[in-house]
Amino acid sequence: MRSGPHPLPVHLGMIAANMSGIHNYASSFSHSISEHDAVQMMRGIQMYQKHPFIPEELPTRTIWSEGGVSIKAPVLKGERKYISDTPLLLVPSLINKANILDISEERSMLRWFNQMGIETYLLDWGDFTQDAEGNIDINALIGEVLCNAIHGVAEIHGGPIDVLGYCMGGTLLLPAYCLAPDHIRRMTLLATPWDFKTKPSPLARNVRIWSPQIMPVIEGGGCLPSEWVAALFASLDPNGSAQKFIRFASMDQSSVGAKLFVAVEDWLNNGVDIPAKIAQHCIQEWFIGNKLYEGDLHIAGQHINTTEIDADILIVASKSDRLVPFKCATNIKESLGSASLDIIELDCGHVGLIVGSKAIETVWQPIFDWHMN
């Protein structure tokens, strides 16, 4: 039986708030749910916890590795003819595991791009808190780990590659490009946060409020625990959290859709602890100082000037994204004065960009077309 969704007390607290009239608790949420919906939400959570489906990792092979970081290629059935001469590297966030981009046969961005004719790889960050690199900082993460990974794929293929960064992965890719411009041809920034003081930005606001409580936790434990991040995210859209379990409760539990829900929920509840130095940098320099947008970013002693990036860049952002609001992502264009920019405007949730029912036709296909143009 699963222990999630994490943090379970937050989800149960939403039910308690609505059913017992604890108004001080409920007032922090933008929407309330009825008692009927609260019961259905609890039913959906129980059905998720007891669901017999156990997601399995899809088969991959490692083409490059360094420490606990690896680059994986999908193991595909039959021969594949690639119509693009330039491979594509998918770079996920550090907050959760990389497999959201390879979550199931029906919703694997990694496998879909390969099947469409672009040789595509997935960067797997591993878990920096579980090895000797547990004290890694942002300088080493970008200047060494990410740049080495990009160089590794470029060396294998004998030329520059295309890259796609999802969420925080895109934020890390921009300074990496400045450090290794010869290895990247084109770049897609998918729901990539950049301007952390644009309004409205509930996540950035909550992080600034939350930081005095979390900083001692990070310093004491040597990492930002995934449970704290899950609690922060859950607080942004409590009504959405409720509704997804209500919908799940009414689904055919043997359907592909129900199994995909379980796989995604397992992914959400299996987050990764963030090393202390990286977590502190992101909170202080990004969310509080907004130094990315202000152009005040230094990696390994080098000033990162994103205005000098002259690559083709595709910005993909959604007006319904609660984690990375539309302007938080699209204001990046003001930091990319020399790049050739295209913007795709969507209307779906942050995770829906990857696993939504219309993700393939509305998100993946336009990105594929852009990379092939």
- Is 198:176 a contact under the CB 8 Å cutoff? no
Residue 79 domain-assigned?
Answer: yes
Query: What residues of the chain score a pLDDT lower than 70?
Result: 1, 8-32, 131-134
What's 64's domain CATH number? 3.40.50.1820
- Is 169:92 a contact under the CB 8 Å cutoff? yes
Pick the last residue of a domain from 256, 271, 286. 271
- Is 90:120 a contact under the CB 8 Å cutoff? yes
What region, left, alpha or beta, does residue 186 occupy, with left being phi > 0 and alpha being psi -120 to 50 degrees?
beta
| Residues 194, 130 share a domain | yes
| Residues 304, 188 share a domain | yes
Helix, strand, coil: what percent of the chain each, to 5? 50, 15, 35
Matching residue, tokens 């007390």: 9
Residue 295 domain-assigned?
Answer: yes
Model pLDDT for residues 214-231, shown as the tens digit of each residue: 999 999 999 999 988 888
- Is 177:311 a contact under the CB 8 Å cutoff? yes
- Is 149:64 a contact under the CB 8 Å cutoff? yes
pLDDT for the residue numbered 82: 94
Which of these, 125, 127, 188, 177, lies nearest to 154 by C-alpha position? 177
Judged by DSSP in three states, 356 sits in coil
Which of these, 121, 187, 180, lies nearest to 156 by C-alpha position? 121
Residue 220 domain-assigned?
Answer: no
| Residues 285, 256 share a domain | no
Residue 72 domain-assigned?
Answer: yes
pLDDT for the residue numbered 15: 54
How many angstroms separate the CA atoms of 370 and 373, rounded? 5
367, β-bridge pairs: none
Judged by DSSP in three states, 193 sits in coil
How many angstroms separate the CA atoms of 9 and 19, rounded? 15
> CB-based contacts of 28: which residues, under 8 Å, 6+ apart?
235
- Is 77:160 a contact under the CB 8 Å cutoff? no
Tokens of 221: 């434990």
CB atoms under 10 Å from CB of 66, counted, come to: 14
- CA torsion, points 306, 311, 312, 315, in degrees to nearest 10? -20
- Is 359:352 a contact under the CB 8 Å cutoff? yes
Residue 180 domain-assigned?
Answer: yes
| Residues 90, 179 share a domain | yes
pLDDT for the residue numbered 131: 66
pLDDT for the residue numbered 21: 39
Residue type for position 202: P
| Residues 65, 136 share a domain | yes
- Is 323:294 a contact under the CB 8 Å cutoff? no
- Is 362:319 a contact under the CB 8 Å cutoff? no
pLDDT for the residue numbered 1: 67
| Residues 257, 148 share a domain | no
- Domain of residue 42: give its range: 1-50+247-271
Before 200, cis peptide (omega within 30)? Answer: yes
| Residues 315, 167 share a domain | yes
pLDDT for the residue numbered 49: 95
Q: What percent of the chain has pLDDT over 90?
A: 74
- Count up the domains in the chain and report the number: 2
| Residues 74, 38 share a domain | no
Tokens of 342: 């295209």
Judged by DSSP in three states, 104 sits in coil
| Residues 164, 71 share a domain | yes
Give the side-chain half-sphere CA count within 13 A for 240: 14
Judged by DSSP in three states, 225 sits in coil
Tokens of 20: 């017992």
Give DSSP secondary structure letters for 338-351.
TSEEEEEEE-S-TT
| Residues 259, 150 share a domain | no
Q: Is the dihedral of CA 182, 188, 192, 195 positive or negative?
A: positive
Residue type for position 230: A
| Residues 280, 251 share a domain | no
Give DSSP secondary structure letters for 140-186.
HIIIIIIHHHHHHHHHHHTS-EEEEEETHHHHHHHHHHHH-GGGEEE
Judged by DSSP in three states, 65 sits in strand
| Residues 267, 187 share a domain | no
- Is 14:27 a contact under the CB 8 Å cutoff? no
CB atoms under 10 Å from CB of 20, counted, come to: 10
